[in-house]
Structure 1
Amino acid sequence: MSVSVTMPQLGESVTEGTVTRWLKQVGDTVAADEPLLEISTDKVDTEIPSPVSGVLLEIRVLEDGVVQVGAELAVIGAADEVAADAQTQPAAPAVAAAPEPVAAPEPVVVAPVPAPKAAAPVVAAPPAAPASTQVDATVDVTLPQLGESVTEGTVTRWLKQVGETVTVDEPLVEISTDKVDTELPAPATGVLLSINVAEDATTEVGSILGVIGVGATAGAPVAAAPVVVAPVVVAPVVAAPVVAAPVVAAPVSTLSGPRAIEDDSYVTPLVRRLAVQSGVDLSTVTGTGVGGRIRKQDVAAAAEAKAAAVPSAVAPDAPNQAAPKATAPVAVSPLRGRTEPLSRLRKVIAERMVESLQISAQLTSVVEVDVTRIANLRNKVKGAFESREGVKLTFLPFIAKASVEALKQFPMVNASIDMAASTITYHDTENLGIAVDTERGLLVPVIRNAGDLNIAGLSRSISDIADRTRSSKVLPDELSGGTFTITNTGSRGSLFDTPIVNQPQVAILGTGAIEKRPVVVPDSTGQDVIAIRSMMYLALSYDHRVVDGADAARFLVAMKNRLEEGSFEAELGL
């Protein structure tokens, strides 16, 4: 009995996914829980395992096809079902010409000076001419009203071509508007007779996109009359007998190194872009993924190996002669001068950032924090901490700890607003979102109940969820449910910025770079002195509909006092 493979729910708000790659083909044997296909959503890329053991009988959604949650992706059955299907296939038409037997090659007599012989032309049989399609009636496919203010849409992709059979409610064409991207189903069962609006063209609501022939059946191909080709009689070539030298075949070397990538092997656009940016030739990379697939980790390793292979500059022989410093050439990005479509993740980020600014009243408040005591404490314990906890001790867990403590004092910063219901919800848990910079774009995984964790727990959680996010192993549910977010823009050298609030939250904290600079501080006698201190900026963007400026300032000052106090010894077991 066959079993359907359906598109699972890959997250709280995920409604559809794109088939990136089939890891098995029709007729292949699969085992239960063996990876069957790869799915990409706007939140996560993952592999879908086979629900049962058996044979892949049918693939319902091709690669790059978009499918709704719960839709059927494939059918798995027993091996005897494959045989049964083969027996029920219709017999080939009697008029189909049988393939001509291939004659055994005659022995070749090598002449001393062989003259090149022109090959006889290959006569191909004319292709079968399709019969005309019979139509009972026609149904127009029109662009519907896809929103209250939507007046037009763009045809993104036709899922069927002219002459193909469609069934009612089967996805027929993809439409993009300024509010939604969706698939339009076929309004009737029949054959697609014409496409009136080409891909990438924009058309008004109510216009005719295509025409379906109802009751139409694609006519059987009319077999063309077989072309009888008279046999070509070739006069025998008489040559003087010669002793032919033995033919020595060139040795085929078996390389144990990287294999060349085949033309039909699958490489994701992300991996190809990373290879171009890193200057890595994919044909020299050995894939370590499923079925030998090249992953981004393989490209990164190849790039590191390539950089290590570059010889260092040789110092001049003359000890007193200073070598002139060569100016390093500017690395030109491969994206320069290119136009490419938005990725699904980039499109989601763009829409949500614009939406956040449109629906909330955002502004940013900034404080400067002296983290010298934390820097000294971190330098003192970071070696032992890494040995004990298995992760490096950074500044971020200290900032996260100060944040969740301040959120408990100022719950209006750890809240969400519902204007439709005219309510504000003050959350009783601190679910901390950590913005992670990935090759796909910015993602914000969530550490739940962060207010219950100490420095060690926060450090382990941040390291774990950031690593899994960058390697596309984060779960979809871990990308939602946050109540407050931290974005560490200082990790790339920025002093501070004005981050955009991640809806439906009401605040986000940006952490700037930590720099040593001269600062006026009081000494032990109370006199002002200039000292070298480790300083940073904390920038809090907040929704003024919920958080007032005074509340934002109190929240930041509470964090500032906690960090400058630097009393985290008990948290670190000292």
Structure 2
Amino acid sequence: MSTTVELPALGESVTEGTVTRWLVEVGDTVSVDDPIVEISTDKVDTEVPSPVAGTIEKILVEEDEDIEVGAALVIIGDGSGSAQEEAPATEEPAEEEAPAAEEKKEEAPKASSGSAEGQEVTLPALGESVTEGTITRWLKEVGEEVAVDEPLVEISTDKVDTEVPSPVAGTLLEIRIQEDEDAEVGQVLAIIGDASAASTPAEEKKEEAPAAEEQAEAPKAEEKPAKEKKEEAPAAETSSESTGDVYVTPLVRKLAKQEGIDLSTVKGTGVGGRIRKQDVQAAVEAKKSSAPADEAPKAETDAPAAEKKTAPAAPAASSKRGTTEKAPRIRQTVAKRMVESLATSAQLTTVQEIDLTRLVALRNKAKDGFAAREGAKLTFLPFFTKAVTEALQQFPQFNSSMSDDFKEITYHGSENIGLAVDTPKGLLVPVVKDAGDLNIAGLAKKIGDIAKRARDGQVGPEELSGSTFTISSTGQTGGVFFTPIINQPNVAILGIGSTNKRPAIIQDAEGNDVIAVRSLAYFSLTYDHRVVDGADAGRFLNFLKQRLEEAAFDAELGL
């Protein structure tokens, strides 16, 4: 019997995805919840786990092909059909016992699933806003006894690393989520129950199974060590790597081998310095970005030392010159949405210059103490976001949306701020929900957390939707100012240029005009002229100018 695995729903408004990489091949054996394929969508990149255990019989969608939610991905067989059909044919005397053996065969998975004879252990709530975690290490193996409240598994989240205790006493019958895989709060992690329920059928099967059936299962017995050998190969080849006593999962070793990463050079971010899959992926990106720099000096190995110092090598040309490639899904999505945005709304941009000198001084004064007290880095973005949420409460037309027939304007009851983040895979806009309810410290933590997870590819689809206003900043890339395109269905987006020191005319204490060096930045507000008029935009920007130039955030910073 075979099962057709379909592409599951991957989040609100996600209707299709692209197969980026198959993690299995035809003939491979998979367990329940083993990752089988990587899928890229316009919201997030994720792995699809196998809903059943069995053997990969047929891959239906090739890499780099698109697939709609609900469409067939792969066919997985349980492997039992051929063995049961061949057993009676090869040894007739075993006909009477074969059905009994087959019944036991069918009962064994039932016992191990835990649905009838075991209790499900789910991922508990681990704190406010924590919706998922990563299995870093199982502290028990299948078949081991566990007591109530005995640590069962280590979990790593974006907030904390912790151990999950067993809620019941019994035997660990089944592990549903493997190490280095993610689990959502409430998802089943393992099954704990009575060991006899799982062991008895298996033992009887061994004793009573006819010889012909044993022969029929022989290929499967040979196949398992081959699969294990395949998975353990990376561990054997990387055993010489200096990873100390830190445990590294076979999945991580396999990925490191495939990408040519020396694990001894990777710094782990998991519990106790454990190297996670994300750490290897980060090392791969770092390796790719540094490759041109590493190759450039080799071309000049024969040049005199003096020439190397005074005549730096020309930047290496990109390997993409003169090539054509399929646009990544995230780039296709950005292109589609930007064109749709320009075609949907009447967009106009107003620019205001804001003097951030006082804010720069305030941040420099407070940042060290803030980091020590709050455990978060104090950037300028929390100040900008705070001022924006206050402005949105004063001018609600900028925190609204218009119906398709132009007959209704909805004024939103909360300020959900989308933040444009430059990631290795392209532009993402994660959302800080209810930003208007947060102070500077709360915004700094939320922004730092969601931006980091966006760059690491760890944000969920629900965190990439629901914005009511968007902020985009040039950040470290420079640029005096720019005219951003509205993130639909928002009515406006604020573009913040780089802060630069320039001479400006100000008034001294006596009211005289003087020239002074100031930290200045341009704020560009693009708005939908169907809803907002130019005078409204001017008032909005003037509010931001006054709030940020005053820089009256001392009380929130404990100064």
TM-score class, shorter: 0.5 to 0.7
Is 1:298 paired with 2:276?
A: no
C-alpha spacing 1:403/1:58, structure 2 compared with 1 (3 Å): same
1:60 CA drift (Å): 4.9
Are the structure 2 counterparts of residues 358 and 323 from structure 1 closer, same or farther at C-alpha, using a change threshold of 3 Å? closer
Which residue in 1 is equivalent to 2:154? none
User: How far apart are the structure 1 equivalents of 2:75 and 2:427?
Assistant: 36
Name the CA distance, whole Å, in 1 between partners of 2:348 and 2:294. Answer: 46
Match of 1:35 in 2: 35
Whether the aligned pair in 2 keeps the contact of 1:491 and 1:512 (CA below 8 Å) is: no
Residues 138-164 of structure 1, C-alpha deviations (whole Å, 9 max, x = no match): xxxxxxxxxxxxxxxxxxxxxxxxxxx
Secondary structure of 1:36's partner?
strand
**1:322 Cα offset (Å):** 12
CA displacement at 1:427 relative to structure 2: 0.8
Give the 3 Å change call, closer, same or farther, for CA 2–524 of structure 1 in structure 2: same
Q: For the structure 1 residues 559 and 386, does the alpha-carbon distance in structure 2 shift closer, same or farther, using more than 3 Å as the test?
A: same
Tell me whether 1:463 sits opposite 2:448 in the alignment. yes
Q: Contact 2:430 / 2:464 at 8 angstroms: preserved in 1?
A: yes
* CA pair 379-46 structure 1, distance change in 2 beyond 3 A: same
C-alpha spacing 1:322/1:292, structure 2 compared with 1 (3 Å) = closer
Task: Give the aligned residue type for 2:11.
Answer: G
Shift of 1:308: 8.5
Secondary structure of the 2:405 match is: coil
Q: TM-score, with normalisation over the residues of structure 2?
A: 0.61
Among 537, 542, 548, which residue is 1:563 paired with? Answer: 548
Is this contact kept in 1: 2:478–2:498, CA < 8 A? yes
Percent sequence identity over aligned pairs: 53
| Cα distance in 2, alignment partners of residues 403 and 535 from structure 1 | 18
Matches within 5 A, 1:213-252: none
Q: Distance in 1 between matches of 2:557 and 2:541?
A: 24
- 1:4 CA drift (Å): 5.1
The amino acid across from 1:298 in the alignment is V
Q: How many Å separate the matches in 2 of 1:443 and 1:385?
A: 28
Give 1:93's aligned residue: none
Question: Contact 1:23/1:291 (CA < 8 Å) preserved in 2?
Answer: no
| Counterpart among 439, 442, 455 of residue 424 in structure 2 | 439
The answer to whether the 8 A contact 1:56-1:74 is kept is no
**What do residues 393-432 of structure 1 show as CA deviations (whole Å, max 9, x unaligned)?**
1111110110111011101011111132621111111111
Q: How far, CA to CA, are the matches of 1:290 and 1:75 in structure 2?
A: 30
Amino acid aligned to 1:402: A
User: 1:276-355 alignment to 2 at 5 Å?
Assistant: 284-286=260-262, 295=281, 297-301=283-287, 325-355=310-340
Q: Secondary structure at the match of 1:336?
A: coil
Aligned-partner Cα distance in 1 for 2:363–2:508: 23
Residue 17 of structure 2 corresponds to which residue in structure 1?
17
Structure 1 residue 84, shift from structure 2 partner: 4.3
Structure showing the higher helix proportion among its residues = 2
Superposition map of 1:18-417 within 5 A: 18-52=18-52, 54-64=53-63, 65-76=65-76, 78-81=78-81, 83-84=83-84, 256=240, 284-286=260-262, 295=281, 297-301=283-287, 325-417=310-402
Tell whether the 8 Å contact from 1:431 to 1:482 is kept in structure 2 after alignment: yes
Aligned to 1:480: 465
Return the alpha-carbon distance in structure 2 between the equivalents of residues 295 and 362 of structure 1. 39
1:428 aligns with 2:413: yes
Structure 2 Cα separation of the partners of residues 527 and 362 of structure 1:
40
Cα deviation for residue 383 of structure 1 reads 1.5
Amino acid at match of 2:379: T
CA shift in 2, pair 1:344/1:87, >3 Å: farther
1:303–1:416 distance in 2 versus 1, CA, 3 Å: closer
Contact 1:57–1:82 (Cα < 8 Å) also in 2: no
1:8 CA drift (Å):
1.6
Who is 2:435 aligned against? 450
- Say whether residues 1:538 and 2:538 are aligned partners: no
Q: Is the CA contact 1:5–1:73 (under 8 Å) kept in the aligned structure 2? A: yes
Q: C-alpha separation between the residues in 1 aligned to 2:261 and 2:241?
A: 9
The Cα shift of 1:513 comes to 0.5
- Contact 1:521/1:530 (8 A) holds in 2: yes
Q: Which residue of 1 aligns with 2:480?
A: 495
Distance 1:504 1:402 in 2: 22
d(CA) in 1 for partners of 2:88 and 2:331? 47
Secondary structure of the corresponding residue to residue 481 of structure 2: coil
- Over residues 89-121 of structure 1, what are the superposed CA-to-partner deviations in whole Å (9 max), with x where a residue is unaligned? 9xxxxxxxxxxxxxxxxxxxxxxxxxxxxxxxx
The alpha-carbon deviation at position 345 of structure 1 amounts to 2.0
Q: Aligned partners of 2:500 and 2:371: how far apart in 1?
A: 24
| Counterpart code for 1:22 | W
SS at match of 1:295: helix
Superposition misfits of 4+ residues, deviation over 6 angstroms: 85-89, 287-294, 308-313, 321-324
Equivalent AA in structure 2 for residue 344 of structure 1:
R
Cα deviation digits, residues 381-402 of structure 1 (max 9, x gap)? 2112222333321111110110
SS of corresponding position for 1:348: helix
Higher radius of gyration, 1 or 2: 1
Cα distance change of structure 1 residues 20 and 286 upon mapping to structure 2, 3 Å threshold: farther
How many residues end up aligned between the 2 structures?
385
Instruction: Report the CA distance shift for 1:365/1:86 in structure 2 as closer, same or farther (over 3 A).
Output: farther
1:554 aligned to 539, 545, 548, which one? 539
Structure 1: which 5+ residue stretches go unaligned? Answer: 90-252, 259-270, 272-280
Q: CA 1:371–1:291 in 2, change beyond 3 Å: closer, same or farther? A: closer
User: What is the aligned partner in structure 2 of residue 212 from structure 1?
Assistant: none
1:552: how far off? 0.6
RMSD: 3.8
Go from structure 1 to structure 2 and tell me whether the alpha carbon gap of 1:62 and 1:419 turns closer, same or farther (over 3 Å shift).
Answer: closer
List per-residue Cα deviations over 1:352-381 (Å, max 9, x = no partner).
Answer: 111211221111101111111111111112
